[in-house]
Amino acid sequence: MAQDNAQGDEWTHDAVVRRLAGEMFRGAMWAALATVVVCLVVWTVVAGATGLVSALIGGVIACLSSVGTLVLMRKTAALPVQFVMVAALGGFMGKLILLFCVLLLLRRFPELHVNALALTTVATIVVTTFMEVRASKRSRSQMVIPTPGNT
């Protein structure tokens, strides 16, 4: 009986969303770090220390942005599905606006290499998003079928 209850709790909407966020994080973490390292090397060769610092700032911004999306997923996991989807869309739009504003503000610093900053940020976000989608598609817990009592 205890085993049946544990399995029933394992497939709640909250648990499924949390598990999916964990799988997406594991799927994207190493790819994001590898992308940042490649960008650091490339921009150090191309633009020297300025390129290195700018690429590092861009990589950190992109990684924090991606982690923010997964944190939002975990925080809204207990809410009804409609709210999770609204939070995901709002989080995505908020992330885009925040990234645009940060990059626009950092562009005003002449010490930074604008291309290194922007291209590292974009490359890391694209790779991270691709790996999150890939992890989501491969997840064993990607579908929740609500029952009439749990909607």
pTM, whole model, 2 decimals?
Answer: 0.79
- Give the total residue count for the chain: 151
With 50 as the cut, is the pLDDT of residue 3 above it? Answer: no
Angle at 93 between CA 136 and CA 52, to 5 degrees: 80
Average pLDDT value for the chain: 83
Q: What is the pLDDT of residues 122-148, one digit of tens each?
A: 999 899 989 988 888 887 665 555 666
Percent of the chain with pLDDT over 90: 30
How many Cα atoms occupy the beta-carbon half-sphere of 10 within 13 Å? 8
Kindly tell me the burial class for residue 78, based on how many C-beta atoms sit within 10 Å of its own C-beta (0-12, 13-18, 19 or more). middle
pLDDT at 5: 43
